[in-house]
Amino acid sequence: MSDGINIKSGTKNNDGNFFEDFRLGQKIVHPTPRTVSEGDVSLYTALYGSRFALNSSDTFAMDLGLDAAPLDDFLVFHIIFGRTVGDISLNATANLGYAAGRFGVPVFPGDTLKATSSVIGLKQNSSGKSGIVWVRTEGTNQNNERVVDYVRWVMIPKRDPDVETSGFLTPESKQMATAKDIFIPDGLDMSSYDVALSGSSHLWGDYEIGERIDHIAGHTVEEAEHQMATRLYQNNARVHFDGLMTKETRFKKRLVYGGHVISIARSLSFNGLGNAFKVAAINGGNHAAPVFAGDTLYAWSEILDKGEIPGREDIGSLRLRTVVCKNQNAKGFPYRSGEDEYDHTVVLDLDYTVLMPT
C-alpha cells in the first residue's frame, strides 16, 4: 500500500450468507464440480484407516460384480457436503444434524460430482441473533444419476440482529429408510463374498435387535489431520480453519468438522461390524457436543432393527445407532444422562442403515 493512495475495499469477494439471506423454497446450484481420483481415496484411507474390503480392493469388488472398488459412502457424502458450504454454512456456528439421507449409485475414481440444494425450513432463534436453516441437498454424477441426497440443519448468525425476519417453517420429521428406499448397485452378487478377506465371520443372521457392540479402539483427533480432511472435501467453513476468528467465539478455538467425526466412527465400527460393506441411508444424526483437536474418540453401536431386501436372499439391512464419546472409552455404552439430555461425553449420535451379506 502506497502513501497518498486511497484504496477502495473490493466488493467481489463472498462473505457468505447469513440467516436473513435465505428464503423458503430457494434453489441453490452449488459451484465447483469435483472429479474424484484414486488420490482422494488414498488420502481418505490415510486419515481414517478404514478397512472395509469393498472400498479397499478392486479385485474384491469385481468378484462381487462391480467395475472396481467404489468410494467409501461417507467420502461421497463429504465431497457433496463440501460443495454446499460456501452457499449455506460458510458463516455457520454449528452444523446441528442430518436426516432422510439416501445413497444412490456407487461412485468410482474418475466420476465428477456436483450438488444442488433447496431451503425447506427456517426458524429464528429466541435470541434474535441467529436462526436455523434446513436444506435438502442432492448430489449427482456426470450422468445426472443420484449418488446421495440428505437433509441437514445448521445454525447461522444474522447479519443484523435488528432486522425482522419472517416466513418461518420447521420441516416435519422424516421417516426412516425402508427396504424400498435402499439402492442396490446393478450387478452386485454376494455369492462370492469371502469372509476371510473381509476380516469378519459375522454375517447378517448373527446380529440381534437390541445387541450392543463396543468397538474398543480409540482415535485421537489431530489438528493437522482434521484440517487436512476438511480441505480434502473443500469445506471452507471458517470455524474449522480460522484460529484468529475462533478466538472470539465461545469455544475460543477451531471446531472439528462433524463429518470428520462420522468417518472416524465408521472406521472404528469395523471391529464388530466388519461385513457392513455399504452404507445405504442416514436416518438421522445429531452432533451432541463439539470436538476439538486433542480429543480421543471411542464408539459403540446398537442394532436398532433388521430388514430383508425384497428379491434378495444374499443381502440384509441393519439399522444401527452408533454413538461416539470423547475422552472416555465406550465401556458401559454412555448415551443419555436423562430423557432429553446426552451424557456429557457423547459427541455424535448417528442413526444409519447398512447392508450386510446373509
- pLDDT band of 347, cuts 50, 70, 90: very high
Residues 6+ apart with CB under 8 A from 319: 176, 177, 283, 303, 304, 305, 306, 307, 351, 352, 353
Instruction: Name residue, grid cell 469378519.
Output: 200
Asked whether 133 and 88 are in contact (CB, 8 A), the reply is yes
| All cell numbers assigned to 277 | 460393506
Domains of the chain (ranges; CATH) run 19-161+189-357 (3.10.129.10)
Question: Which residues lie closer than 8 Å to 301 by C-beta, 6 or more apart?
Answer: 212, 213, 215, 269, 272, 273, 320, 321, 322, 323
The pLDDT score that the predictor gives to residue 249 is 86
Mean pLDDT of 31-41: 97
Residue 42 has φ and ψ, to the nearest 5°, of -65, -40
* Three cell numbers written together for 176: 426412516
Q: What is the pLDDT of residues 75-94, one digit of tens each?
A: 999 999 999 998 998 878 87
Given a cut of 60, whether residue 154 has pLDDT beyond it is: yes
Reduce the DSSP state of residue 330 to 3 states and report it: coil
The count of residues in the chain is: 358
Q: Please, which pLDDT band fits residue 177 given cuts at 50, 70 and 90? A: low
Where do we find the cell 457424502?
A: 77
The pLDDT of residue 2 is: 40
pLDDT in tens, 317-329: 999 999 999 999 9
* pLDDT at residue 127, rounded to an integer: 83
Q: What are the residues whose beta carbons fall under 8 Å from the beta carbon of 166, sequence distance 6 or more?
A: none
Strand pairing of 146-157 and 94-103?
Answer: antiparallel
Burial tier of 172 (Cβ tally within 10 Å: 0-12, 13-18, 19+)? exposed
Detail the DSSP E strand segments found in 176-276: 212-214, 219-220
Cell of 269: 465400527
Q: Are 226 and 260 in contact (CB under 8 A)?
A: yes
> Which DSSP state fits 239?
G
pLDDT tens-place string over residues 264-313: 999 999 999 999 999 999 999 899 999 999 999 999 999 999 999 988 99
Average pLDDT estimate for 17-26: 90
> Residue 28 pairs with which residues in a beta bridge?
117
Q: How far is residue 175 from each of residues 105, 110, 171, 172, 309, measured CA to CA in Å?
A: 21, 33, 12, 10, 18
Alpha-carbon distances of 319 from 103, 176, 286, 327, 330, rounded to whole Å:
14, 9, 16, 26, 20
Confidence class of residue 189 from pLDDT cuts 50, 70 and 90? very high
Q: What is the pLDDT of residue 10?
A: 56
CA nearest 227: which of 211, 209, 246, 248?
A: 246
**Percentage, residues of the chain above pLDDT 70:** 94
Q: What is the pTM of this model?
A: 0.91
Taking the C-alpha atoms of residue 309 and residue 294, their distance in angstroms, rounded to an integer, is: 41
Residues 6 or more apart whose Cβ sits within 8 Å of residue 257: 95, 226, 229, 230, 233, 235, 237, 240
pLDDT at 163: 74
Tell which residue, 183, 96, 102, 189, has the closest CA to residue 149: 102
Over residues 216-267, the pLDDT tens digits come to 999 999 999 999 999 999 998 888 988 898 898 889 999 999 999 999 999 9
